[in-house]
Amino acid sequence: MLAKDSKIYVAGHHGLVGSAIWNNLKARGYENLIGRSHKELDLTDQVAVRKFFDEERPDAVVLAAAFVGGIMANSLYRADFIMQNMKIQCNVISEAYAHQVKKLLFLGSTCIYPKNAPQPMKEDCLLTSPLEYTNEEYAIAKIAGLKMCESYNLQYGTNYIAVMPTNLYGPNDNFHLENSHVMPAMMRKVYLAKLIHDDNWQAIRRDLDIRPVEGVDGSSSQEAILDVLAKYGISDNKVVLWGTGTPLREFLWSEDMADASVHILLNVNFSDIIGIEKYSSVHYGAAIDGTVDRNHSAGRGGALPKLGEIRNCHINVGTGKELTIRQLSELVVQAVGFEGTVEFDATKPDGTMRKLIDVSKLHSLGWTHHVEIDDGVRKLFEWYKQSLQ
């Protein structure tokens, strides 16, 4: 357990999960939190990250910062998705080790699992068959991140834990029409189609002032606004969504993810995941409470042969429940009060057809989710409307 005065760096503290983790830690009495915006600290800049760690010397790190997006963004920016995320992970994890950080929590994604993995997906199905092509680069980066945590633990005796959340949604979500995930993009599309039908141009312009689309904002002409929204399947009382609507998805409220993350940060060690008896029975040269002996790791890392093969030490975080994209659209339509039509463009990719995770390891570590999807969709729409005030 980290002391209440521990200095905790939350990387990505303005983002969907990072902001929720920040608030969760505050609510538990952890006041000594550090955050930097992207403008203040570019995590892809190795020199800047090293300078930050030199100055701040955090006791613990939550790595919630990432370059993220949905199917369209993953398809368009493949090089960015692998390179930006690898830079962020390598810089933060290596500097955490160099500065003797006691505990690190790395946030990945369940897109790490094979496209045709058995459902629900257990942690052990990692790297057993090919990935989904549309998000392959992001998945490979996140696999590398969890392997970094695992490998540092095995070689240096660190206490770095990797958690793999399912699809997340909640306060501070990204509602960008091109780069956001499925639920916020869908919600904004439905809302704007309703506003067009209601001829509520004041609300439409307010929406675009806060979140411009391809440079089109609230000051643009009605024609320009309608043209750019049409590109994203938004028109008068009608929304067109990508795919067939048949893929199954699991969704987790971001504040639930934050609660799970903080629970693991405070209560779960690497030894709890791989088996304390096996791990501690070998003279290892480094304690897994974060006290690192940098002299024991000459060669290939001390006790590795005696420990045998240790892999898949990450933790799935989700609800263990799923619904189709079409069912999700129905919940969004209900929450928004939309009376128009929602169509699916089957010529566009669906992505992975099913992505349900097995959360038995998470449950065994003492945490289960709280917010169900129907209530969560309503809560997200209320937050979105408030963000437009």
Confidence (pLDDT) at 351: 77
Phi and psi, residue 195, nearest 5°: -65, -40
Which residue stretches of the chain are H helix? 16-27, 46-56, 71-76, 78-98, 136-156, 182-197, 201-210, 222-231, 254-267, 270-274, 276-280, 304-307, 325-336, 360-364, 373-387
Rounded Cα distance between 377 and 356, Å, is 19
Residue whose entry in the numeric block shows the structure tokens 């980290």: 2
Confidence (pLDDT) at 364: 96
Q: Across the strands, what pairs with 249?
A: 323
- Between vectors from CA 351 to CA 13 and to CA 148, what angle results, nearest 5°? 45
Rounded Cα distance between 192 and 237, Å, is 9
Active site amino acids: 138
Q: Is the peptide bond before 120 cis (omega within 30 degrees of 0)?
A: yes
Confidence (pLDDT) at 224: 98
DSSP 131-152: PPGGGHHHHHHHHHHHHHHHHH
From first to last of its 389 residues, the chain has per-residue pLDDT tens of 799 999 999 999 998 899 999 999 999 999 999 999 999 999 999 999 999 999 999 999 999 998 776 666 667 778 988 999 999 999 999 999 999 999 999 999 999 999 999 999 999 999 999 998 888 999 999 999 999 999 999 999 999 999 999 999 999 888 988 777 889 999 999 999 999 999 999 999 999 999 999 999 999 999 999 999 999 999 999 999 999 999 999 999 999 999 999 999 999 999 999 875 445 444 344 444 444 444 444 333 444 556 678 999 999 999 999 999 999 999 999 999 999 999 999 999 887 788 899 999 999 999 999 999 999 999 999 999 999 99
Q: Which residues contact 330 (CB under 8 A, 6 or more apart)?
A: none
**DSSP single-letter state for residue 213:** B
Confidence (pLDDT) at 285: 41
Using CA atoms in the order 219, 223, 224, 227, what is the torsion angle rounded to 10 degrees? 140
Three-state SS for 9? strand
Rounded Cα distance between 169 and 177, Å, is 15
CA neighbor of 97 nearest in space, from 157, 21, 164: 157
- Between vectors from CA 319 to CA 318 and to CA 324, what angle results, nearest 5°? 100
Separation of first and last alpha carbons in the chain: 40
**CB count, 10 Å around CB of 50?**
15
Structure tokens at 334: 């209900």
Using CA atoms in the order 77, 79, 80, 84, what is the torsion angle rounded to 10 degrees? 160
Confidence (pLDDT) at 278: 46
CA neighbor of 118 nearest in space, from 357, 360, 320: 357
Residue 318 half-sphere exposure toward CB, CA atoms < 13 A = 25
Q: Which strand (E) or helix (H) includes residue 106? A: strand 103-107
**CB count, 10 Å around CB of 171?**
18
Confidence (pLDDT) at 135: 85
